[in-house]
Chains A and B, each alone.
Chain A
Protein backbone atom coordinates (compact mmCIF):
# COMPACT_ATOMS: atom_id res chain seq x y z
CA UNK A 1 0.00 0.00 0.00
CA UNK A 2 1.69 3.18 -1.06
CA UNK A 3 -1.26 5.30 -2.00
CA UNK A 4 -2.07 6.79 1.39
CA UNK A 5 -2.73 10.47 0.90
CA UNK A 6 -0.38 12.60 2.91
CA UNK A 7 -1.54 15.55 4.91
CA UNK A 8 -0.67 18.76 3.13
CA UNK A 9 1.53 20.97 5.29
CA UNK A 10 0.41 24.19 6.82
CA UNK A 11 -0.18 27.02 4.45
CA UNK A 12 -0.11 29.58 7.23
CA UNK A 13 2.50 32.27 7.13
CA UNK A 14 3.50 34.75 4.50
CA UNK A 15 3.47 33.80 0.84
CA UNK A 16 6.89 32.55 -0.16
CA UNK A 17 7.77 34.08 -3.47
CA UNK A 18 11.12 32.36 -3.46
CA UNK A 19 9.31 29.03 -3.68
CA UNK A 20 8.45 29.65 -7.32
CA UNK A 21 10.63 27.68 -9.72
CA UNK A 22 13.11 29.82 -11.59
CA UNK A 23 11.93 30.51 -15.13
CA UNK A 24 13.65 29.13 -18.17
CA UNK A 25 15.13 25.75 -19.00
CA UNK A 26 17.62 24.01 -16.74
CA UNK A 27 21.22 24.75 -17.63
CA UNK A 28 22.57 21.95 -19.73
CA UNK A 29 26.24 21.43 -19.12
CA UNK A 30 26.00 18.10 -20.86
CA UNK A 31 23.48 16.39 -23.05
CA UNK A 32 21.07 15.33 -20.31
CA UNK A 33 19.31 12.04 -20.53
CA UNK A 34 19.38 8.46 -19.47
CA UNK A 35 23.17 8.14 -19.55
CA UNK A 36 23.67 11.18 -17.32
CA UNK A 37 21.17 9.68 -14.87
CA UNK A 38 23.19 6.46 -14.79
CA UNK A 39 26.36 8.41 -14.05
CA UNK A 40 24.70 10.30 -11.18
CA UNK A 41 22.95 7.26 -9.71
CA UNK A 42 25.96 4.94 -9.98
CA UNK A 43 27.25 3.72 -6.65
CA UNK A 44 30.74 4.46 -8.00
CA UNK A 45 29.93 8.16 -8.39
CA UNK A 46 32.51 9.56 -5.96
CA UNK A 47 30.15 11.24 -3.52
CA UNK A 48 31.02 9.27 -0.39
CA UNK A 49 27.77 7.38 0.02
CA UNK A 50 29.50 4.00 0.37
CA UNK A 51 30.69 4.91 3.89
CA UNK A 52 27.10 5.11 5.15
CA UNK A 53 24.65 2.31 5.89
CA UNK A 54 21.50 4.44 6.10
CA UNK A 55 20.78 3.18 9.60
CA UNK A 56 21.25 -0.46 8.66
CA UNK A 57 24.30 -1.01 10.90
CA UNK A 58 22.33 0.02 14.00
CA UNK A 59 19.34 -2.06 12.87
CA UNK A 60 21.52 -5.14 12.38
CA UNK A 61 23.02 -4.75 15.84
CA UNK A 62 19.56 -4.35 17.40
CA UNK A 63 18.41 -7.53 15.66
CA UNK A 64 15.95 -5.65 13.47
CA UNK A 65 17.63 -6.80 10.27
CA UNK A 66 18.53 -10.49 10.27
CA UNK A 67 17.76 -11.69 6.75
CA UNK A 68 16.42 -10.68 3.33
CA UNK A 69 12.84 -10.35 4.60
CA UNK A 70 13.65 -7.97 7.44
CA UNK A 71 16.04 -6.09 5.12
CA UNK A 72 13.14 -5.59 2.71
CA UNK A 73 10.89 -4.27 5.51
CA UNK A 74 13.64 -1.92 6.65
CA UNK A 75 14.27 -0.64 3.14
CA UNK A 76 10.57 -0.24 2.40
CA UNK A 77 10.05 1.79 5.58
CA UNK A 78 13.08 3.97 4.87
CA UNK A 79 11.96 4.50 1.27
CA UNK A 80 8.51 5.77 2.26
CA UNK A 81 9.74 8.00 5.09
CA UNK A 82 13.13 9.69 4.89
CA UNK A 83 13.47 8.51 1.28
CA UNK A 84 10.29 10.25 0.16
CA UNK A 85 11.21 13.39 2.09
CA UNK A 86 14.70 13.53 0.58
CA UNK A 87 13.34 12.75 -2.89
CA UNK A 88 10.96 15.71 -2.59
CA UNK A 89 13.83 18.03 -1.66
CA UNK A 90 15.96 16.75 -4.53
CA UNK A 91 13.12 17.09 -7.03
CA UNK A 92 12.49 20.66 -5.84
CA UNK A 93 16.18 21.53 -6.21
CA UNK A 94 16.20 20.00 -9.69
CA UNK A 95 13.28 22.28 -10.57
CA UNK A 96 15.29 25.29 -9.43
CA UNK A 97 13.48 26.17 -6.20
CA UNK A 98 15.44 28.40 -3.83
CA UNK A 99 18.20 26.24 -2.31
CA UNK A 100 18.28 28.30 0.92
CA UNK A 101 14.62 27.61 1.54
CA UNK A 102 15.12 23.96 0.65
CA UNK A 103 18.10 23.62 2.97
CA UNK A 104 16.04 25.16 5.79
CA UNK A 105 13.17 22.78 4.98
CA UNK A 106 15.66 19.90 5.14
CA UNK A 107 16.87 21.04 8.57
CA UNK A 108 13.28 21.16 9.86
CA UNK A 109 12.76 17.62 8.54
CA UNK A 110 15.92 16.29 10.20
CA UNK A 111 15.57 16.42 13.99
CA UNK A 112 18.71 14.34 14.53
CA UNK A 113 21.84 16.53 14.63
CA UNK A 114 23.90 13.48 13.66
CA UNK A 115 21.84 13.09 10.49
CA UNK A 116 22.02 16.83 9.76
CA UNK A 117 25.81 16.65 9.97
CA UNK A 118 25.89 13.54 7.77
CA UNK A 119 23.60 15.20 5.22
CA UNK A 120 25.85 18.28 5.01
CA UNK A 121 29.03 16.21 4.79
CA UNK A 122 27.56 14.11 1.99
CA UNK A 123 26.29 17.30 0.37
CA UNK A 124 29.80 18.69 0.36
CA UNK A 125 31.21 15.52 -1.19
CA UNK A 126 28.40 15.39 -3.74
CA UNK A 127 29.17 19.00 -4.64
CA UNK A 128 32.83 18.26 -5.37
CA UNK A 129 31.90 15.37 -7.64
CA UNK A 130 29.09 17.30 -9.31
CA UNK A 131 31.23 20.34 -10.07
CA UNK A 132 33.81 18.11 -11.70
CA UNK A 133 31.16 16.24 -13.68
CA UNK A 134 28.87 19.11 -14.71
CA UNK A 135 30.61 22.44 -14.02
CA UNK A 136 28.27 25.43 -14.14
CA UNK A 137 27.79 28.81 -12.41
CA UNK A 138 24.72 27.56 -10.52
CA UNK A 139 26.71 24.83 -8.75
CA UNK A 140 29.55 27.30 -8.09
CA UNK A 141 27.09 29.68 -6.46
CA UNK A 142 25.55 26.92 -4.34
CA UNK A 143 28.99 25.74 -3.21
CA UNK A 144 29.97 29.30 -2.27
CA UNK A 145 26.73 29.83 -0.35
CA UNK A 146 27.19 26.65 1.73
CA UNK A 147 30.89 26.24 2.52
CA UNK A 148 30.04 23.58 5.13
CA UNK A 149 27.82 21.80 2.68
CA UNK A 150 24.12 21.99 1.95
CA UNK A 151 21.88 18.99 2.68
CA UNK A 152 22.80 16.20 0.26
CA UNK A 153 19.40 15.90 -1.49
CA UNK A 154 19.47 19.63 -2.26
CA UNK A 155 22.93 19.28 -3.83
CA UNK A 156 21.91 16.13 -5.66
CA UNK A 157 18.92 17.95 -7.12
CA UNK A 158 21.13 20.84 -8.19
CA UNK A 159 23.59 18.35 -9.73
CA UNK A 160 20.76 16.68 -11.63
CA UNK A 161 19.72 20.09 -12.90
CA UNK A 162 23.27 20.85 -13.99
CA UNK A 163 23.31 17.55 -15.86
CA UNK A 164 20.17 18.53 -17.71
CA UNK A 165 18.05 16.07 -15.76
CA UNK A 166 14.57 16.69 -14.36
CA UNK A 167 12.85 16.38 -10.97
CA UNK A 168 11.74 12.77 -11.56
CA UNK A 169 15.35 11.83 -12.33
CA UNK A 170 16.63 13.48 -9.15
CA UNK A 171 13.89 11.85 -7.09
CA UNK A 172 14.69 8.46 -8.63
CA UNK A 173 18.35 8.84 -7.68
CA UNK A 174 17.40 9.55 -4.08
CA UNK A 175 14.82 6.76 -3.91
CA UNK A 176 17.37 4.29 -5.24
CA UNK A 177 20.20 5.33 -2.95
CA UNK A 178 17.79 5.29 0.03
CA UNK A 179 17.42 1.53 -0.34
CA UNK A 180 20.64 0.72 -2.20
CA UNK A 181 22.80 1.99 0.65
CA UNK A 182 21.31 -0.23 3.38
CA UNK A 183 21.12 -3.26 1.06
CA UNK A 184 24.80 -3.01 0.15
CA UNK A 185 25.75 -2.40 3.78
CA UNK A 186 23.84 -5.47 4.97
CA UNK A 187 25.78 -7.67 2.54
CA UNK A 188 28.89 -6.61 4.45
CA UNK A 189 27.37 -6.51 7.92
CA UNK A 190 25.49 -9.79 7.87
CA UNK A 191 27.25 -11.59 5.08
CA UNK A 192 23.89 -11.62 3.30
CA UNK A 193 23.98 -13.23 -0.13
CA UNK A 194 24.39 -10.34 -2.60
CA UNK A 195 21.94 -12.02 -4.97
CA UNK A 196 19.30 -11.83 -2.25
CA UNK A 197 20.12 -8.20 -1.53
CA UNK A 198 19.74 -7.35 -5.20
CA UNK A 199 16.45 -9.22 -5.32
CA UNK A 200 15.21 -7.04 -2.43
CA UNK A 201 16.04 -3.94 -4.47
CA UNK A 202 14.44 -5.31 -7.62
CA UNK A 203 11.20 -6.06 -5.81
CA UNK A 204 11.11 -2.53 -4.41
CA UNK A 205 11.56 -0.98 -7.86
CA UNK A 206 7.85 -0.27 -8.49
CA UNK A 207 7.62 1.46 -5.09
CA UNK A 208 10.75 3.49 -5.86
CA UNK A 209 9.09 4.65 -9.09
CA UNK A 210 5.98 5.60 -7.19
CA UNK A 211 7.90 7.49 -4.47
CA UNK A 212 9.84 9.39 -7.15
CA UNK A 213 6.59 10.30 -8.87
CA UNK A 214 4.93 11.49 -5.64
CA UNK A 215 8.04 13.50 -4.74
CA UNK A 216 8.26 15.20 -8.13
CA UNK A 217 4.53 15.99 -8.15
CA UNK A 218 4.81 17.58 -4.70
CA UNK A 219 7.90 19.55 -5.74
CA UNK A 220 6.01 21.06 -8.67
CA UNK A 221 3.42 22.38 -6.20
CA UNK A 222 6.13 24.30 -4.34
CA UNK A 223 7.91 24.41 -1.03
CA UNK A 224 4.83 24.07 1.18
CA UNK A 225 3.77 20.84 -0.51
CA UNK A 226 7.03 18.96 0.06
CA UNK A 227 6.72 15.66 1.95
CA UNK A 228 7.90 15.47 5.58
CA UNK A 229 7.57 11.74 6.21
CA UNK A 230 9.79 10.61 9.04
CA UNK A 231 10.87 7.42 10.79
CA UNK A 232 11.26 7.55 14.59
CA UNK A 233 13.66 4.62 14.85
CA UNK A 234 15.99 6.01 12.17
CA UNK A 235 16.25 9.27 14.14
CA UNK A 236 16.72 7.51 17.48
CA UNK A 237 19.27 4.95 16.32
CA UNK A 238 21.30 7.50 14.31
CA UNK A 239 22.11 9.26 17.57
CA UNK A 240 22.91 6.01 19.37
CA UNK A 241 25.05 4.70 16.52
CA UNK A 242 27.18 7.86 16.40
CA UNK A 243 28.21 7.19 20.01
CA UNK A 244 29.52 3.68 19.34
CA UNK A 245 33.28 3.52 19.90
CA UNK A 246 33.77 1.14 16.96
CA UNK A 247 31.61 0.96 13.86
CA UNK A 248 31.96 -0.15 10.28
CA UNK A 249 29.91 2.67 8.75
CA UNK A 250 29.84 6.42 9.46
CA UNK A 251 26.04 6.38 9.84
Chain B
Protein backbone atom coordinates (compact mmCIF):
# COMPACT_ATOMS: atom_id res chain seq x y z
CA UNK B 1 0.00 0.00 0.00
CA UNK B 2 1.44 3.34 -1.02
CA UNK B 3 1.16 6.37 1.17
CA UNK B 4 1.05 10.12 0.96
CA UNK B 5 2.62 12.22 3.67
CA UNK B 6 3.63 15.86 3.99
CA UNK B 7 5.65 17.16 6.93
CA UNK B 8 5.70 20.90 7.56
CA UNK B 9 8.20 23.14 9.29
CA UNK B 10 7.85 26.88 9.86
CA UNK B 11 10.56 28.85 11.66
CA UNK B 12 10.26 32.45 12.83
CA UNK B 13 12.75 35.15 13.75
CA UNK B 14 12.33 34.67 17.48
CA UNK B 15 13.79 31.15 17.27
CA UNK B 16 10.34 29.61 17.48
CA UNK B 17 8.71 26.93 15.39
CA UNK B 18 5.10 28.06 14.95
CA UNK B 19 4.48 24.94 12.88
CA UNK B 20 6.22 21.59 13.26
CA UNK B 21 4.02 18.90 11.83
CA UNK B 22 5.00 15.26 11.29
CA UNK B 23 3.01 13.04 8.95
CA UNK B 24 3.14 9.26 8.53
CA UNK B 25 6.73 8.10 8.25
CA UNK B 26 8.04 11.66 8.14
CA UNK B 27 8.65 12.63 11.76
CA UNK B 28 10.18 16.03 12.44
CA UNK B 29 11.54 16.88 15.91
CA UNK B 30 13.06 19.94 17.44
CA UNK B 31 16.54 18.94 18.56
CA UNK B 32 19.24 20.56 20.63
CA UNK B 33 20.91 23.42 18.77
CA UNK B 34 24.60 24.12 19.22
CA UNK B 35 24.71 27.53 17.51
CA UNK B 36 22.38 30.39 16.67
CA UNK B 37 20.26 28.18 14.42
CA UNK B 38 17.01 26.61 15.54
CA UNK B 39 17.46 22.92 14.77
CA UNK B 40 14.98 20.39 13.41
CA UNK B 41 15.84 16.76 12.73
CA UNK B 42 13.91 14.53 10.36
CA UNK B 43 13.91 11.26 12.24
CA UNK B 44 11.43 9.05 10.44
CA UNK B 45 12.16 8.62 6.74
CA UNK B 46 14.65 5.77 7.17
CA UNK B 47 13.00 3.02 5.19
CA UNK B 48 10.72 5.18 3.09
CA UNK B 49 10.09 5.95 0.33
CA UNK B 50 8.83 2.76 -1.24
CA UNK B 51 7.61 2.67 -4.83
CA UNK B 52 4.29 4.48 -5.16
CA UNK B 53 4.78 6.64 -2.07
CA UNK B 54 4.43 10.39 -2.34
CA UNK B 55 6.35 12.14 0.39
CA UNK B 56 6.91 15.85 0.86
CA UNK B 57 8.57 18.20 3.30
CA UNK B 58 7.58 21.87 3.22
CA UNK B 59 9.78 24.29 5.07
CA UNK B 60 9.29 28.01 5.49
CA UNK B 61 12.00 30.11 7.08
CA UNK B 62 10.36 33.43 7.77
CA UNK B 63 12.06 36.83 7.52
CA UNK B 64 15.01 37.02 9.91
CA UNK B 65 14.77 33.38 11.08
CA UNK B 66 17.69 30.92 11.19
CA UNK B 67 16.97 27.23 10.77
CA UNK B 68 19.11 24.12 10.51
CA UNK B 69 17.45 20.95 9.25
CA UNK B 70 19.29 17.63 9.34
CA UNK B 71 18.23 14.01 9.45
CA UNK B 72 18.90 11.12 11.80
CA UNK B 73 19.73 8.63 9.08
CA UNK B 74 20.12 8.19 5.34
CA UNK B 75 16.99 7.97 3.22
CA UNK B 76 16.75 4.64 1.45
CA UNK B 77 14.67 4.36 -1.71
CA UNK B 78 13.27 0.84 -1.97
CA UNK B 79 11.19 -0.91 -4.62
CA UNK B 80 7.45 -1.04 -4.10
CA UNK B 81 5.09 -3.84 -4.98
CA UNK B 82 3.26 -2.05 -7.78
CA UNK B 83 6.33 -0.95 -9.72
CA UNK B 84 5.20 2.69 -9.68
CA UNK B 85 7.89 5.30 -8.97
CA UNK B 86 8.01 7.03 -5.62
CA UNK B 87 8.01 10.80 -5.36
CA UNK B 88 9.77 12.89 -2.74
CA UNK B 89 9.25 16.64 -2.90
CA UNK B 90 11.21 19.12 -0.84
CA UNK B 91 9.88 22.67 -0.94
CA UNK B 92 11.92 25.35 0.82
CA UNK B 93 11.14 29.03 1.19
CA UNK B 94 13.62 31.39 2.81
CA UNK B 95 12.64 34.98 3.60
CA UNK B 96 14.60 38.22 3.80
CA UNK B 97 17.61 38.18 6.16
CA UNK B 98 16.69 34.58 6.92
CA UNK B 99 19.09 31.65 6.74
CA UNK B 100 18.52 27.96 6.12
CA UNK B 101 21.06 25.17 6.49
CA UNK B 102 19.56 22.10 4.83
CA UNK B 103 21.93 19.27 5.61
CA UNK B 104 20.19 15.88 5.37
CA UNK B 105 21.98 12.55 5.29
CA UNK B 106 22.47 10.70 1.99
CA UNK B 107 19.80 9.46 -0.35
CA UNK B 108 20.52 5.83 -1.20
CA UNK B 109 18.98 4.28 -4.30
CA UNK B 110 18.53 0.55 -3.66
CA UNK B 111 18.38 -1.98 -6.48
CA UNK B 112 14.98 -2.09 -8.14
CA UNK B 113 13.80 1.21 -6.63
CA UNK B 114 12.50 4.11 -8.69
CA UNK B 115 12.45 7.52 -7.06
CA UNK B 116 11.75 10.98 -8.46
CA UNK B 117 13.06 13.57 -6.07
CA UNK B 118 12.35 17.24 -6.58
CA UNK B 119 13.79 20.04 -4.51
CA UNK B 120 12.40 23.51 -5.08
CA UNK B 121 13.88 26.52 -3.31
CA UNK B 122 12.52 30.07 -3.31
CA UNK B 123 14.95 32.57 -1.82
CA UNK B 124 14.29 36.19 -0.97
CA UNK B 125 16.96 38.61 -2.23
CA UNK B 126 18.73 38.79 1.14
CA UNK B 127 18.22 35.14 2.14
CA UNK B 128 21.14 32.80 2.84
CA UNK B 129 21.16 29.10 2.05
CA UNK B 130 23.39 26.11 2.59
CA UNK B 131 22.02 23.00 0.87
CA UNK B 132 23.63 19.60 0.56
CA UNK B 133 22.44 16.74 -1.61
CA UNK B 134 24.15 13.37 -1.84
CA UNK B 135 22.99 10.55 -4.07
CA UNK B 136 24.41 7.09 -3.40
CA UNK B 137 23.77 4.64 -6.21
CA UNK B 138 23.14 1.27 -4.62
CA UNK B 139 23.95 -0.06 -1.16
CA UNK B 140 27.38 -1.60 -0.75
CA UNK B 141 28.19 -3.70 -3.81
CA UNK B 142 24.64 -3.43 -5.08
CA UNK B 143 23.37 -2.18 -8.46
CA UNK B 144 21.59 1.13 -8.37
CA UNK B 145 17.88 1.68 -8.73
CA UNK B 146 16.48 4.47 -10.89
CA UNK B 147 16.96 7.89 -9.41
CA UNK B 148 15.92 11.14 -11.02
CA UNK B 149 16.50 14.28 -8.99
CA UNK B 150 15.79 17.87 -9.89
CA UNK B 151 17.05 20.87 -7.99
CA UNK B 152 15.51 24.21 -8.86
CA UNK B 153 16.58 27.33 -6.99
CA UNK B 154 15.15 30.76 -7.57
CA UNK B 155 16.41 33.91 -5.94
CA UNK B 156 14.26 37.05 -5.89
CA UNK B 157 12.02 35.32 -8.43
CA UNK B 158 14.84 34.69 -10.95
CA UNK B 159 16.39 31.31 -11.76
CA UNK B 160 19.71 30.70 -9.98
CA UNK B 161 20.27 26.96 -10.45
CA UNK B 162 18.31 24.32 -12.29
CA UNK B 163 19.72 20.81 -12.56
CA UNK B 164 18.32 17.38 -13.19
CA UNK B 165 20.34 14.23 -12.63
CA UNK B 166 19.15 10.84 -13.85
CA UNK B 167 20.81 7.53 -13.08
CA UNK B 168 20.06 3.85 -13.20
CA UNK B 169 18.22 1.38 -15.39
CA UNK B 170 15.28 3.73 -16.01
CA UNK B 171 17.46 6.72 -16.94
CA UNK B 172 18.37 7.72 -20.50
CA UNK B 173 21.44 5.97 -21.93
CA UNK B 174 25.00 7.02 -21.26
CA UNK B 175 24.49 7.92 -17.58
CA UNK B 176 27.45 5.76 -16.57
CA UNK B 177 29.64 6.83 -19.48
CA UNK B 178 32.60 9.19 -19.51
CA UNK B 179 30.45 12.34 -19.72
CA UNK B 180 28.27 11.72 -16.67
CA UNK B 181 29.49 9.30 -13.97
CA UNK B 182 32.10 6.93 -15.40
CA UNK B 183 31.62 4.29 -12.73
CA UNK B 184 31.36 6.61 -9.74
CA UNK B 185 28.59 5.66 -7.35
CA UNK B 186 28.37 8.73 -5.13
CA UNK B 187 27.33 12.14 -6.46
CA UNK B 188 26.93 15.29 -4.46
CA UNK B 189 26.16 18.97 -4.56
CA UNK B 190 26.75 21.62 -1.96
CA UNK B 191 25.10 24.93 -2.71
CA UNK B 192 25.88 28.05 -0.72
CA UNK B 193 23.93 31.22 -1.48
CA UNK B 194 24.98 34.37 0.33
CA UNK B 195 24.31 37.99 -0.71
CA UNK B 196 27.87 38.76 0.44
CA UNK B 197 29.13 36.83 -2.61
CA UNK B 198 27.72 39.68 -4.71
CA UNK B 199 30.69 41.89 -3.76
CA UNK B 200 33.13 39.03 -3.18
CA UNK B 201 32.32 36.20 -5.58
CA UNK B 202 33.42 32.65 -4.93
CA UNK B 203 36.52 31.74 -6.94
CA UNK B 204 36.53 28.56 -9.04
CA UNK B 205 38.85 25.89 -7.71
CA UNK B 206 39.36 22.16 -7.75
CA UNK B 207 38.60 20.46 -4.42
CA UNK B 208 39.53 16.86 -5.14
CA UNK B 209 40.24 14.64 -8.11
CA UNK B 210 36.61 14.78 -9.19
CA UNK B 211 35.17 17.78 -7.39
CA UNK B 212 35.08 21.49 -8.14
CA UNK B 213 33.79 24.64 -6.51
CA UNK B 214 32.31 27.08 -9.02
CA UNK B 215 30.59 30.44 -8.75
CA UNK B 216 27.08 30.49 -10.21
CA UNK B 217 25.90 33.47 -12.22
CA UNK B 218 24.31 34.83 -9.03
CA UNK B 219 25.83 35.27 -5.54
CA UNK B 220 26.33 31.58 -4.93
CA UNK B 221 28.93 28.84 -4.98
CA UNK B 222 28.25 25.26 -5.99
CA UNK B 223 30.37 22.24 -5.23
CA UNK B 224 29.88 19.46 -7.76
CA UNK B 225 31.50 16.16 -6.79
CA UNK B 226 31.54 12.54 -7.81
CA UNK B 227 33.30 9.91 -5.73
CA UNK B 228 33.67 6.17 -5.40
CA UNK B 229 31.53 5.98 -2.26
CA UNK B 230 29.54 7.92 0.31
CA UNK B 231 32.44 8.35 2.72
CA UNK B 232 34.78 9.91 0.18
CA UNK B 233 32.02 12.15 -1.08
CA UNK B 234 31.17 13.41 2.40
CA UNK B 235 34.81 14.16 3.10
CA UNK B 236 34.97 16.50 0.08
CA UNK B 237 31.67 18.21 0.86
CA UNK B 238 32.52 18.63 4.55
CA UNK B 239 35.79 20.29 3.69
CA UNK B 240 34.02 22.69 1.33
CA UNK B 241 31.31 23.38 3.90
CA UNK B 242 33.92 24.30 6.48
CA UNK B 243 35.48 26.84 4.11
CA UNK B 244 32.36 28.27 2.46
CA UNK B 245 29.86 28.35 5.28
CA UNK B 246 31.21 27.27 8.66
CA UNK B 247 28.47 26.69 11.22
Contact = CB atoms under 8 A, between A and B. Distances in A.
Interface string B152-166: 111001111111111
Contacts of B157: 13-14
B215 interface: yes
A116 interface: yes
B209 to A, nearest CB: 9
Interface in A45-87: 55, 59, 62, 64-65, 70, 72-81, 84
A235 B214 contact: yes
- B150, B172, B187, B204, most chain A CB atoms within 10 A: B172
Contacts of B215: 113
B239 to A, nearest CB: 16
A236 B177 contact: no
Contact of A80 (B163, B173, B178): B173
**In which size bucket is the chain A interface?**
35 or more
B212 interface: yes
A9 B150 contact: yes
Given A64-B182, A236-B224, A79 B174 contact: yes
B173 A2 contact: yes
Contact of B159 (A79, A104, A232): A104
Interface stretch (A34-42, A166-174, A222-230): A222-230
A89 B162 CA distance: 13
A108 B172 CA distance: 22
A95 B120 CA distance: 27
Contact of A229 (B164, B214, B224): B164
A4 interface: yes
B43 interface: no
Contacts of A209: none
A116 B118 CA distance: 25
A59 B214 contact: no
Interface string B127-169: 0000000000000000000101110111001111111111001
A111 B216 CA distance: 5
A118 interface: no
B247 interface: no
A233 B210 contact: yes
B120 A64 contact: no
B172 A239 contact: no
Given A7-B116, A240-B206, A77 B158 contact: no
B143 to A, nearest CB: 15
Nearest to B226: A232
Contacts of B146: 4
Contacts of A72: 177
Nearest to B211: A236
A60 B162 CA distance: 28
Nearest to B116: A7
Contact of A59 (B153, B171, B178): B178
Contact of B173 (A77, A227, A234): A77
- A7, A104, A105, A107, most chain B CB atoms within 10 A: A7
Interface of B: 91, 116-118, 120, 122, 146, 148-150, 152-154, 157-166, 169-182, 184, 187, 204, 206, 210-212, 214-217, 222, 224-226
Interface of A: 1-2, 4, 6-7, 9-10, 12-14, 55, 59, 62, 64-65, 70, 72-81, 84, 104-105, 107-114, 116, 207, 227-236, 239-240, 243
9 contacts: A1-B170, A13-B122, A70-B177, A80-B175, A81-B174, A228-B152, A229-B166, A230-B165, A240-B212
